Amino acid sequence: MMRVMLATGKKVLVAMSGGVDSSVAAALLRDDGYEVVGAFMRLGSPGESLHEDDACGLDSQSTILNQKSTIKIGHQGCCSINDAKDAQLVAAELGIPFYVLNFKNDFGRIIDYFVDEYNAGRTPNPCVRCNDWLKFGRLWDYARSIDADFVATGHYARVEHSPGDGSRLLRGVDHGKDQSYVLFGTRTEHLRHMLLPIGGYRKPQIRQLAAELGLPVSNKPDSQEICFVPDQDYAGLIRRRSPQTVAAGEICDSAGQVVGHHPGHQHFTVGQRRGVGIALGYPIYVVDKDAESNTITLGRRQDLARTRLTADQANWLIAPPRDQLLRCTAKIRYNAQPVPAALRATGDDELAVEFDEPQFAVAPGQAVVCYEGERLIGGGWIKAAE
Indicate which residues carry an active-site annotation: 130, 227
Q: Please enumerate in sequence order all residues whose Cβ is within 8 A of that of 274, keeping only pairs 6 or more positions apart, or say none.
A: none
DSSP three-state, residue 250 = strand
CB atoms within 10 A of CB 357: 9
> How far apart are alpha carbons 172 and 332 in whole angstroms?
18
- Strand bridging mode 305-316 / 351-360: antiparallel
| Local structure of residue 364 (DSSP, 8 states) | B
Check if the beta carbon of residue 338 is closer than 8 Å to that of residue 330: yes
Q: Please enumerate in sequence order all residues whose Cβ is within 8 A of that of 191, keeping only pairs 6 or more positions apart, or say none.
A: 159, 167, 169, 317
Check if the beta carbon of residue 28 is closer than 8 Å to that of residue 5: no
Strand partners, 316: 378
> How far apart are alpha carbons 361 and 306 in whole angstroms?
8
